Amino acid sequence: MINKRVILPFLLILAVIPLNFLFAHMPQKSSAVAPSSLPSFSHIFVIVLENTEYSDIIGNPSAPYFNSLASTYGLATQYYAIMHPSLPNYMALTGGSTFGIKSDCYLCFKNVTNLTDQIEASGRTWKAYMESMPSPCYIGDSPDGLYAQKHDPFIYYNDIRLNTARCTADVVPFTQFSTDLSNNALPNFAWITPNMCDDAHDCALSVADTWLSQVVPTILNSPAYQNNGLLFITTDEGTTNLGCCTVATGGNVATLVISPLGKSGYQSTIQETHYSLLRTIEDSWGLKRLRNARTSSAMSEFFP
C-alpha cells in the first residue's frame, strides 16, 4: 500500500518546481554531426565515367590503367548506382536524392541545398571542371555534342545556375584544371566530368582508360593530393539493374578510392551506393548529411 504521508509532500514539491527547470535537465537530442572515423582530407577529387558495369571493366585488357589503379589502391566491389539514366545519379552524388528525376531532362532545375552549399558554408572551396564545355556556366549541350548538360549536375541547382558570379567562377571548362593545377590553386573539392568520348559514353572503354592515364597522374603528383588528399573514380550507372540497399537499382559499378591515407590494394565487399560516396565527403569534413546520405554508411573501411 502507498504511504500517503510520504507521496503527498513529494507531489507538492513537484508542483512548485518550474517546468523550464525540469526540461533543462532532461536529455536533449543533438543536431551536431557525430565525430567521423574518417581522415579530414585536405582536397577531394571526383571523376565520373559513364555506363560501365563492374564486370565490364575489372579484368578487362582494354582498361589496363584503371585496373592498375584498382590493384594498387582501394576498390569497392559491391558499389551500386542509384538508377537509370544518367542525370538522377549525378543528382544523387551531389544532392543526396534523385529529386524525382527519372530522365535526362533539360529544364528540371531544383531549388534545393546541395553539396557545394555545404562546402562553402564550411569555409572550403569547390569547382566543377567540365571537359568540352564551351564556356563557364554553359546551359545546354555543346554544338559538337561532346559536352552534355545531363552530366553536369551543378547546372541543375538554382542557387548555382542563377547566381552568375558563382556559376561562372566555379562551373568551368576542363581547360581551367591544368591552369589551377600549375598555379597550385586547386579548390578543396574538385569535380571532373570527362566529355562524351573520354567518359566511355560514346567511345570505346580504351579511350576513357587512356584519358585517365593522362589525367590521374597529374592529380596524384599534385601537392593537393599528396597532402592528405582523396580521389574517387566512379561510374554514373552500369548496364544492368543490379542494386542494393533499397535505394539502388542502377547496376554494379567499379569505384576506386585513392588516397595516400588509404589502404593499399584493398578490396571492399560492403554494399555501398552513390549516397555512400556523398556521405564519405560529408563525414570527412563534418558536414550535415543530405537526404539519403543520412541512412547510408560512409566508406570508412578503406582507411586504417
Domain coordinates in residue numbering, the chain: 48-302
SS3 228: coil
Average pLDDT over residues 193-203: 98
Checking if the pLDDT of 129 tops 90, the result is yes
Average pLDDT over residues 20-31: 33
How large a percentage of the chain has pLDDT more than 70? 88
Average pLDDT over residues 41-48: 98
CA–CA distance, 225 with 231 (Å, rounded to integer): 8
* Whole-number pLDDT of residue 163: 98
- pTM for the structure as a whole: 0.88
* Residue 47 phi, psi dihedral angles, 5° rounding: -115, 130
Q: Position 157: which residue type?
A: Y
Average pLDDT over residues 250-278: 98
Q: What's the pLDDT band for 36 if we cut at 50, 70, 90?
A: low
CA–CA distance, 162 with 141 (Å, rounded to integer): 18
* Whole-number pLDDT of residue 37: 85
CA–CA distance, 244 with 231 (Å, rounded to integer): 24
**Better pLDDT: 223 or 30:** 223
CA–CA distance, 302 with 225 (Å, rounded to integer): 16
Architecture in CATH of 48-302:
3-Layer(aba) Sandwich (3.40)
Residue keyed to cell 577531394: 44
* Whole-number pLDDT of residue 77: 98
Average pLDDT over residues 209-228: 98
